[in-house]
């Protein structure tokens, strides 16, 4: 019976998505159908109570603040200043200025939290500069698509906040757990660039200028504002001074001050950043509310319990379970955005994960990594859409040149599975 109900609800879900219904409304609609047809509880009453509870969580207040901070920085001169500060340090590395894609995304990820914002902001900086200097388009676009996903893994991260709320886990611990895997993934991307450059030396333009050490230090002054902002936001969390929500407020104030000092803050910029953040957060909030209602209806129908019993009955080892979940989320990422993937599946997946003895902080980083993969998998890959708009290239081309980055993320999942301390060591050794 549970299988037939599940198939029916999946059909309703994809029918509504194919009809162009907003994802949040689709989730709520599927939940309403399930409650009306297969439960004795009034659907309207359950929906009202659940949506109010999902939208009034204090922990969730960090989300719109981090979104606003990213929108403010998106409209400042941060990107141009970052390029000036980074370029002298990578001129001697194999791959030269291609590394600015990775390093720039890693730095901006530490003050953004959004993959799309990271990809768009760094893309505005590097795409025209690298094209002008003769770097190959496939490597420029491919490395940017992959590195842009660091906006989800390097804290603060919107996905980690959503997961923390859905799984009832400490957001501060999730942020700290993402630091080492984020650095590791950035190093994997840069390592790929270096190896590719050594294998294709003729495709990399010659260095335009040699910088002395003191010239590099002088150019690095452009990085001071963003480094100070990162220190303020993440330092306040890691030192135990502020919660994730309070640190987000610090980030908003810091980004407002930074843009004012740079001279790029005016009434128009302020209004555009606030409206942009409001639109994005309202979309996220609608998805969260719809998914909360769907989770409740699934609980009434007993589907999570039935699925957990089915998976447990398969007798999968912990490794086989992780591999199966990775394939499941990669497939799901072809049709849904990352936030929808997390909130839609947590109620079903968490009992099974907990039963398998998997640490939920570690699982949060695993989920973040597989959601990163979804950002560059067609047809619903947000980073692909961002780059398509910026480069006017076909979606299939961008997906193809991003494939090496996708494979490196698969490798990163295997690394954190076999070496879980990369994720768990920092949060277990810091006072929060």
Q: How confident is the model at residue 409 (pLDDT cuts 50, 70, 90)?
A: very high
Q: What is the mean pLDDT of residues 17-23?
A: 76
pLDDT tens by residue, 258-317: 888 888 888 888 998 889 888 877 877 787 788 778 777 777 777 656 666 666 667 788
pLDDT tens by residue, 356-382: 889 999 999 999 999 888 878 876 677
What is the model's pTM?
0.75
> Domain coordinates of the chain in residue numbers?
57-283+382-406+416-428
**144 vs 185: CA distance, rounded Å:** 13
pLDDT the model gives residue 156? 77
Check pLDDT > 70 for residue 96: yes
pLDDT tens by residue, 335-358: 666 777 787 778 778 888 888 889
Beta-carbon-side half-sphere exposure of residue 303 (alpha carbons within 13 Å): 28
Q: What is the mean pLDDT of residues 166-176?
A: 88
Check pLDDT > 90 for residue 191: yes
Check pLDDT > 70 for residue 47: yes
Mean pLDDT value across the chain: 81
pLDDT the model gives residue 431? 62
Q: Are 97 and 198 in contact (CB under 8 A)?
A: no
Q: How confident is the model at residue 174 (pLDDT cuts 50, 70, 90)?
A: very high
**7 vs 5: CA distance, rounded Å:** 5
Check pLDDT > 60 for residue 432: no
**220 vs 415: CA distance, rounded Å:** 33
Check pLDDT > 80 for residue 415: yes
Check pLDDT > 70 for residue 135: yes
Question: Which range, 15-24, 47-56, 66-75, 401-410, is most confident?
Answer: 401-410
Q: How confident is the model at residue 222 (pLDDT cuts 50, 70, 90)?
A: confident
Percent of the chain with pLDDT over 70: 90
């Amino acid at each position: 019976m549970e299988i037939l109900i599940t198939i029916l609800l999946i059909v309703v879900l994809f029918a509504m998505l194919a009809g162009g219904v907003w994802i949040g409304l689709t989730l709520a609609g599927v939940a309403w159908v399930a409650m009306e047809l297969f439960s004795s509880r009034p659907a309207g009453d359950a929906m009202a109570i659940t949506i109010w509870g999902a939208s009034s969580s204090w922990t969730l207040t960090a989300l719109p603040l981090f979104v606003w901070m990213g929108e403010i920085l998106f409209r400042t001169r941060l990107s141009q200043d970052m390029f000036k500060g980074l370029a002298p340090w990578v001129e001697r590395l194999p791959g030269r200025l291609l590394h600015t894609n990775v390093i720039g995304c890693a730095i901006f990820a530490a003050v953004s939290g959004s993959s799309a914002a990271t990809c768009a902001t760094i893309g505005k900086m590097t795409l025209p500069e690298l094209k002008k200097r003769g770097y190959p388009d496939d490597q420029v676009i491919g490395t940017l698509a992959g590195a842009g996903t660091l906006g989800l893994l390097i804290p603060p991260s919107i996905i980690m906040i959503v997961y923390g709320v859905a799984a009832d886990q400490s957001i501060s611990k999730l942020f700290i757990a993402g630091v080492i895997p984020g650095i590791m993934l950035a190093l994997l991307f840069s390592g790929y660039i270096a190896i590719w450059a050594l294998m294709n030396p003729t495709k990399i333009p010659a260095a335009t200028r040699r910088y002395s050490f003191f010239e590099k230090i002088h150019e690095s002054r452009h990085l001071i504002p963003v480094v100070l902002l990162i220190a303020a936001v993440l330092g306040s969390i890691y030192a135990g001074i502020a919660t994730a929500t309070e640190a987000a407020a610090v980030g908003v104030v810091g980004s407002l001050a930074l843009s004012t000092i740079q001279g790029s803050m005016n009434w128009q910029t302020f209004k555009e950043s606030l409206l942009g953040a409001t639109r994005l957060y309202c979309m996220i909030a609608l998805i969260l509310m719809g998914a909360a209602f769907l989770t409740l209806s699934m609980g009434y129908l007993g589907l999570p319990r039935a699925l957990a019993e089915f998976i447990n009955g398969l007798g999968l080892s912990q490794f086989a379970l992780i591999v199966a979940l990775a394939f499941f989320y990669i497939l799901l990422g072809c049709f849904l955005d990352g936030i929808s993937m997390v909130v839609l599946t947590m109620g079903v997946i968490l009992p099974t994960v907990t039963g398998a003895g998997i640490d939920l902080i570690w699982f949060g980083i695993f989920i973040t990594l597989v959601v990163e993969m979804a950002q560059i998998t067609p047809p619903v890959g947000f980073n692909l859409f961002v780059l398509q708009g910026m480069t006017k290239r076909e979606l299939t081309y961008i997906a193809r040149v991003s494939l090496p980055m996708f494979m490196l993320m698969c490798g990163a999942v295997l690394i954190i599975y076999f070496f879980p301390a990369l994720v768990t060591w920092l949060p277990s050794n810091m006072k929060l």
